[in-house]
Every structure is written in C-alpha cells, then in structure tokens.
C-alpha cells in the first residue's frame, strides 16, 4: 500500500461544501478516506459533494454546524461519531473574511472572524483529539491557514490576525499532542479562486495587478491544495508536525514582480 494511501481512515472537513474545502474533501476520498463534510448552510452543495464521495466508493456524510458556534461543538462531534465512527483526520478549513478598512471594523465583525477562524478550530480540535487519544492510534490535524497568516494585507486586519493566530495554534497543538502521535500542521494557501472573495469590492485592474505578483502567473485552484493535505494526512507525513506548507504560486517569495524587470531574453 502506498504511504500516501488513506484507506481505512475517516476525515472530517469543515467548510467542506464549497471552495477549498470541497476540493479537499474529494481529494481525501480519492486517496481512500471516508469523509464527513461539515457545512454551515449550503446543504444542497454539501449533498452534492457527499454524492461524489460515494461515487468514488467511499463513505460520505453531510453534517450541518456553524463552526463559530463553539458551544455546539461537543454535540456535533457526538453526532459525527454516531454516524461516521471515529475521526482520524481533522481538516479545519472553514473560514470567513471581511474586506473593510481598520476604522470601520465592528466588534461583531471581529468576533465572527475570530470565532470561525480561530476559536472554533481550536475547540473542535480539542474535542476530536480526546477521541484520538483514547483510541491510542494517533491522528492528524491540518489547519487551513493563509499567506495572510504570514504576511498582512490591507483592509483585512481581523482576518490577518486570525490566520496569524491559527499559525501559532498549529505550533502549540503540535507540541501538546505529540506524545499521543497526533501531528498538527497547517497549509497556507495564497490567492485561490473560491467564493470567499466574490463579494469583495476592489478597484479596476486589481486582479491583473495581482497576477503580476504571482511568479507562476495564475490564481490557484482548490485542487492545488490537495497534495499538501493528503501528504500531511498520510503515513508519508508521519514525522512532520508544527509546520506550514505554503501553496501560493510563489507570491511570498518575490519582493518586486518579475514582469517589472522585463521577461528573460
């Protein structure tokens, strides 16, 4: 069996009905895992993902819960265990972002961002880790962070702060859970074509400007994040913990766009 195989494992993906989460749920299923799709409100989309998981010959489940509702996490984890059994792999993918200037950020925006992007993932990991520890088989926790957790972006202060916090939580949990053979890592996508930015109002020419800053010359797709997550979830990643894999087409490594120097002759 390949060291990248997830056969016999069950994964839970938050925000798994669309965007990066959808791609990851299907990618994990293609690698052999049964998958629980945790979704907030897109029930029809979640059902479509589950149908595709089952078409791949894997067990698929759709469970509704707003990860920002931290008080409801123990109950939803109980429901997941009743329906799908033990969870071996947690992918904390659900996230929110609000594009607004610093001086317009409200307490509600701040609290919603932190609850969904930091507090929820922490307490979901805590709840699921209890079961992993009791079973004694180890486990995998993979937080979907962002390049915004490594370098800030204008008009996204709460989002930047939340992803920075998630990066540090990844390292902290990696230390605390290492005695139980539970690895904790993050994957930090760059500019990925998802629904999260559909409502953002940006200036004309903004997207063209962005492409100038991506060395690979294109926006990422949800599928571009699958390889890193599957590797970290599998035996191939068994000795990796507390680390961040950046999936950004090179955007963080280039200070001045290559195009400003001219194309190579």
User: Strand 244-247 to strand 60-64: parallel, antiparallel, or no bridges (unpaired)?
Assistant: unpaired
DSSP 242: S
Both tokens of 63, joined, read 């469970």
**Cα–Cα distance, 196 to 211 (Å, whole number):** 18
CB atoms near residue 37 (< 10 Å): 30
User: For residue 245, is it left (φ>0), alpha (ψ between -120 and 50) or beta?
Assistant: beta
180 assigned to active site: no
DSSP line for 250-264:
TGGG-SS-GGGG---
Distances (CA, A) of 11 to 6, 81, 86: 9, 11, 9
**Cα–Cα distance, 115 to 73 (Å, whole number):** 12
Detail the DSSP E strand segments found in 2-64: 10-14, 34-39, 60-64
Catalytic residue among 159, 180, 209, 239: 159
**Cα–Cα distance, 22 to 13 (Å, whole number):** 8
Both tokens of 198, joined, read 């559909």
Residues marked active site are found at 159
């Amino acid at each position: 069996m390949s060291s990248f195989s997830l056969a016999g494992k069950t994964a839970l993906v938050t925000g798994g009905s669309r965007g990066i989460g959808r791609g990851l749920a299907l990618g994990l299923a293609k690698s052999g895992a049964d998958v629980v799709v945790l979704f907030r409100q897109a029930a029809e989309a979640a059902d479509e993902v589950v149908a595709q998981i089952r078409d791949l010959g894997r067990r698929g489940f759709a469970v509704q819960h707003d990860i920002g509702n931290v008080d409801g996490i123990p109950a939803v984890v109980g429901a997941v265990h009743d329906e799908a059994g033990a969870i071996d792999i947690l992918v904390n993918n659900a996230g929110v972002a609000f594009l607004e200037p610093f001086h317009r950020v409200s307490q509600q925006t701040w609290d919603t961002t932190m609850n969904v992007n930091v507090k929820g993932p922490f307490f979901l990991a805590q709840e699921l880790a209890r079961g992993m520890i009791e079973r004694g088989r180890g486990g995998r926790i993979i937080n979907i962070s962002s390049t915004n957790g490594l370098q800030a972006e204008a008009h996204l202060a709460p989002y930047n702060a939340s992803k920075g916090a998630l990066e540090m939580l990844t390292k902290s949990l990696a230390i605390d859970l290492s005695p139980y053979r539970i690895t904790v890592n993050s994957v930090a996508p760059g500019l990925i074509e998802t629904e999260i930015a559909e409502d953002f109002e940006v200036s004309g020419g903004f997207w063209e400007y962005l492409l100038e800053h991506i060395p690979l010359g294109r926006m990422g797709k949800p599928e571009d994040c699958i390889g890193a997550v599957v590797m970290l979830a599998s035996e191939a990643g068994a000795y990796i913990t507390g680390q961040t894999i950046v999936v950004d087409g090179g955007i963080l490594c280039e200070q001045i766009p290559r195009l400003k120097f001219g194309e190579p002759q």
